[in-house]
Amino acid sequence: MATRFKMVATDLLIQTYLTVAERGQINPQQMGDAWDFEFHGGHETGTPFYIRPKDNKATHNLTKFDTHTRDGKPLTYNLQKMANGDHVDAMKSTARDHLYAVVSGNWELLCTVSLRFKSGDRNGEIEQATLAAQAAAALLAATAAAAAPTTRACKSAPTCPGHVPIVRQGKAACDTCWVYQ
Ligand SMILES: [Zn+2]
C-alpha cells in the first residue's frame, strides 16, 4: 500500500514523523504539486522513498531513492543511485530541478522520515526514548561508581582507626597500622 506525502512542514505524515524542530529545518519546502513522495509498505531493503509525478499512475518501477544501506547506515544523496529515473526524467525541467533541490536540501530529513516510517517511530519517540534510557543508564552507572566506597575500616585490631583501600584483587595496607589485609 502506498503512502504519499509532500516535503512541507504542514504535511500530515511529516507532522507525524518529524518533531517541530526538525520540521523547522525543511529547506527548501516543496512547492506546487508536480510530484508526491511515496512510501510503499513492507520492510524494503534500502528503506526507499519513491517519486510519484503528478498524473503518473504507474503501479511499479517508480523512480526510487534508497536512503539507507543494508546495515542501516544513512546513504549519501547521489542522483546516480536513483532507480527507474525515467519517470523523473519525463517531468518538466523546472519541476525536476525543484525536486532535486528539495531532495538534496532535505536529504538527512528524508532519511530520518524514511527510517521512522519503516520502524513506526512517530516523531522519533522510540529513538528519543532509547537515547534517554541509554543516558539514564550511563548516569546511574557513573553515580554508582562515584558513590561506591573506596576504603573500608581496618580489621587488624579492634582499636585501629585506620582504613584499608578496597582493591579488586589481593590485599592492601591499612593507612594507619600498615597491616596488609
Ligand atoms: Zn590498621
pLDDT tens, residue by residue, 54-70: 999 998 899 999 999 98
Residue 90 Cα to ligand 1 middle (Å): 87
User: Which phi and psi angles does 154 have, rounded to 5°?
Assistant: -65, 140
State the pLDDT confidence band at 140, using cuts at 50, 70 and 90. confident
Residue 44 Cα to ligand 1 middle (Å): 68
Handedness of CA 128, 102, 58, 85 (dihedral sign): negative
In the structure, ligand 1 is a single-atom ion and the residues with CB under 5 Å from it are 154, 156, 160, 162, 174, 176-177
Helix ranges, 32-84 (H) = none
CA distances from 170 to 90, 103, 133 (A): 77, 62, 36
Cα–Cα distance measured from residue 51 to residue 36, given in angstroms and rounded to the nearest whole number: 6
**C-alpha cell, 107:** 536529504
Residue 40 Cα to ligand 1 middle (Å): 73
Residue 165 Cα to ligand 1 middle (Å): 11
Instruction: Report the predicted TM-score, pTM, of the whole model to 2 decimal places.
Output: 0.70
What pLDDT does residue 95 have?
96
